[in-house]
Chains A and B, each alone.
Chain A
Amino acid sequence: MSAQHLLTAEALVSGYGGRTIVDGIDLELPAGRITVIVGANACGKSTLLKTLSRLIKPTSGAIVLDGKQISELPTKQLARTLGLLPQQPIAPEGIAVADLIGRGRHPHQKLFRSWTTEDDRAVVEALEATGIADLADRSVDELSGGQRQKVWIAMALAQQTDILLLDEPTTFLDIAHQVEVLDLLTDLNRRQGTTIVIVLHDLHLAIRYADTLVAVKDGKVHAMGAPSEIVTSTLIEEVFGLRNTIITDPVSGKPMVTPLGRHHVR
């Protein structure tokens, strides 16, 4: 439904303090789809996401949104198109759920303009999309980890961006909540056509939920495509250094990676 924005990385090199982590990535994130970025620890997947969301300045190359470098766009305007849920945002002590979600409205608010009906509606829609409407007046401190993560996602939703990047949104959640969060993001994608990009550790869920899987190795894109087309035993061994067997996920019909460790192998 929404105008399809195109986010691309061009010959991207970036890292921290002179250390190169992302080492020459060209990437076009499919508009209106769910892209999941996977890779071994320290392969650069998180740095890639941080550079895509302008938390890190590229050493060279560029991030381009609809033909314009994001570094040249006004920050607030960019924040109305490109949203990010960072790995560990900090909830102010004692803040109410609805108020925290309301902070997602920042890029839509002018300096002197007060709160509008539109802002309230965005908060309500975000509360409902994440299924936490009954928590609106509660204090964030009182919530469980799973509920809290939904509040943060709701804040990102209240920002109403057409592209949403998420840095390991399921870390620290139990399996039921992981599935719930990924279902919720899929709902958002299906209902509103939001382009979603997720860095994920869990390969099983990554393959299950990705329309497009991006496998990163040593700061480069090793493979990219629909999981059914690219996930092979060889690919997983190359990217993660893990011997494995691929079976078909009985639920999704997609590939499912079964590790071959040194123990418990028949």
Chain B
Amino acid sequence: MTAHPATPGLAARTALVRAGRIRRSRRRAIVIGILAAAVLSLVFAEIMLGKTFYPVSDVLAVLRGESVPGASFTVGTLRLPRALIGALAGLAFGAAGTTFQTMLRNPLASPDVIGISAGASAAAVVSLVVLRWSGTTTLFVALIAGVAVAAAIYLAARGGESTGGRLILIGIGIGAMLDAVVSFAIQRAAEWDVAVAMRWLTGSLNGSRWESVLPLGIAVAVLLPLLALLSRQLRALELGDAAATALGVRVDHVRVVLIIAAVALTCFATATTGPIAFVAFLAGPIVSRLAGHGSSLTVPAALMGACLVLTADLIGQFAFDTRFPVGVITGILGAPYLLYLLIRTSRRGGSS
């Protein structure tokens, strides 16, 4: 027989519930730790691997600002910005994706599925290739386009009963139209622009340059903490607008801030790397299986996004005879999951 008293005291019972909670939150902390370590390792792998292999010592020397023959150019000018942009874009896509998915309570509702990335891509390609505006202007044009698409989808989907499902279908439609704009602009682009313009079709880290690191870095440094800070409100919103209001959340305010922050992250990343397929879409669902459900996914999903982009880029660069852009690899990874979700959704007989 066990020696449990028939009814343990309140303190003991509280301890039991606390132990369960701590066990679940520790799992999340471990996942965050592992993912952060993985991102760091992948950044180093990006820097070290290539036509010439540079050992960690060379990389660290370059990072310290020392001049290492060969490595200074290859690492400092080519590989480091590529690795940083990959990581930053991944963080942005991952955090934005899980924010949308949680807020709309639907795994299909990530910004790359509902056309927001497509809006940013279309604006970026038109701005760069057709209008020949500068990189900085392009960032803001992409941002405005992304916000406009989000607003258009939101307005078009309003008034229905199951807003979630309608919003996603309308978003997919708008996304398809905007993808056509991208293709059109690329067809018309001068030949020497095609290599640059192709980025907006699939998403790529090729040609990553230092001047793109700073704006994306600032966006991530400002908006990611904002999303993390609002994660408690987001978790209340997840229970439904009524329940969130009852818990003292100012639903309308919080939702607007969350949407703008997530859209801005998506647009800055898309304007820099192009729409790297399915990273926003996949990061949250993968991480919720790893970290456990019911806790905030913003930070782990951001890290997972970075892992996905960097891993896919390494695979694209080194796994095949031809070098594929990162978006091709993530596209291959993400498409089956999208199909799975669509099939599951249609089986349940609804679109929500």
A-B interaction: yes
Give A contacts to B, CB under 8 Å.
Answer: 50, 53-55, 75-80, 83-96, 98-100, 102-104, 106-107, 109, 111, 115, 117, 120-121, 123-124, 127-128, 133, 136-137, 139, 156, 159
Q: Is the CB of B13 within 8 A of A53?
A: no
Taking the closest CB of chain B, its distance from the CB of A8, in whole angstroms, is 19
In the complex where A94-B294, A96-B294, A120-B14 touch, is A115 in contact with B21 (Cβ < 8 A)?
Answer: yes
When distances are taken between beta carbons in the complex, the residues of chain A under 8 Å from B239 are 89-92, 103
Please name all residues of chain A whose beta carbon is closer than 8 Å to the beta carbon of B105 when the two chains form the complex.
Answer: 90, 92
Contact residues, B11-48 vs A (CB, 8 A): 13-14, 16-18, 20-21, 24
A20 CB → nearest B CB, Å: 19
**Residue in A85, A106, A137 whose CB lies within 8 Å of B248:** A106
A93 near B21: Cβ-Cβ < 8 Å: no
Number of A-B contacts (CB under 8 A): 108
Q: Are A53 and B294 in contact (CB under 8 A)?
A: no
Q: List 11 A-B contacts (CB under 8 A).
A: A55-B242, A75-B245, A84-B242, A85-B246, A87-B242, A88-B240, A94-B292, A103-B235, A106-B248, A120-B14, A120-B17
Enumerate B283-304 residues with CB–CB distance to A below 8 Å. Answer: 288, 292-295
Complex Cα–Cα for A77 and B288 (A): 32
Does B247 make an interface contact (CB < 8 A)? Answer: yes
Which residues from chain B contact A92 at a C-beta distance below 8 Å?
102, 105, 235, 238-239, 293-294
Closest to B244 in A: A106
Q: A103-B235, A115-B21 are in contact. Are A121 and B14 (CB under 8 A)?
A: yes
- State the CA gap A107–B243 with chains docked (Å): 12
- Shortest Cβ gap from B185 to chain A (Å): 40
How far, in Å, is A151 (CB) from chain B's closest CB? 12
List B residues at the A interface (Cβ < 8 Å).
10, 13-14, 16-18, 20-21, 24, 102, 105, 229, 232, 235-236, 238-243, 245-250, 288, 292-295
Q: Smallest CB-CB separation from B15: which chain A residue?
A: A120
Q: Kindly provide the distance from the CB of B54 to the nearest chain A CB, expressed in whole angstroms.
A: 42
Given contact pairs A90-B239, A96-B20, A83 touches B246 in the complex (Cβ within 8 A): yes
Evaluate whether A124 and B242 lie within 8 angstroms (CB atoms) in the complex, with A75-B249, A106-B247 already known.
Answer: no
CA distance A86 to B250 in the complex (A): 16
Q: Are A128 and B21 in contact (CB under 8 A)?
A: no
Q: How far is B232's CA from A5's CA once the two chains are assembled, in angstroms?
A: 28
Inter-chain contact B242/A99, CB cutoff 8 Å:
no
CB-CB < 8 A to A88: which residues of B?
Answer: 240
Choose among A86, A109, A124 the residue that contacts B17 (Cβ–Cβ < 8 A): A124
B28 to chain A, nearest CB (A): 11
Inside 8 A of A111's CB, which chain B residues have their CB?
229
Partner of A127, one of B17, B235, B240, B288: B17
Inter-subunit contact A106/B21 (CB<8 Å): no
Across the interface, name the chain A residue whose C-beta is closest to B159.
A17
B232 to chain A: which residues have CB within 8 Å?
106, 109
Nearest 7 Cβ contacts at the A-B interface: A79-B248, A94-B293, A95-B294, A86-B242, A84-B246, A76-B248, A107-B248
CA distance A57 to B315 in the complex (A): 54
A167 and B332 alpha carbons, distance in the complex (Å): 47
Residues of B within 8 A of A123 (CB): 17
> Once bound together, how far apart are the Cα atoms of A75 and B292, in whole Å?
30
Please give, as numbers and ranges, the residues of chain A lying within 8 Å of B293 by CB-CB distance.
92-96, 139
Q: Are A103 and B236 in contact, CB atoms less than 8 angstroms apart?
A: yes
A123 CB to nearest B CB, Å: 6
Task: Give Cα A166 to B247, complex, Å.
Answer: 14
Known: A100-B294, A128-B13. A106 touches B236 (CB 8 A): yes
Q: How far is the CA of A159 from the CA of B24 in the complex (A)?
A: 21
- Distance of A160 Cα from B239 Cα, bound (Å): 18
CB distance from B3 to the nearest CB of A (A): 19
Residues of B within 8 A of A139 (CB): 293
Chain A hits for B17, CB < 8 A = 98, 120, 123-124, 127, 136
A94 / chain B contacts, CB cutoff of 8 Å = 288, 292-294
Asked if B240 contacts A90 (CB within 8 A), the reply is: yes
Select one of A86, A99, A121, A137 contacting B246, CB under 8 A.
A86
Contacting A120 at CB < 8 Å: which of B21, B245, B246, B294?
B21
Within the assembled complex, what's the spacing in Å between the Cα atoms of A105 and B273? 41
Residues of A within 8 A of B241 (CB): 55
Among A87, A89, A99, contact of B295 (Cβ-Cβ < 8 Å): A99
CB–CB B14/A124 < 8 A? yes
**Nearest B residue (CB) for A117:** B14
Closest to B289 in A: A94
Not counting A94-B288, A104-B247, a sample of 8 additional A-B residue pairs whose C-beta atoms are within 8 angstroms of each other reads: A77-B248, A84-B245, A92-B239, A103-B235, A106-B236, A120-B14, A127-B17, A136-B17
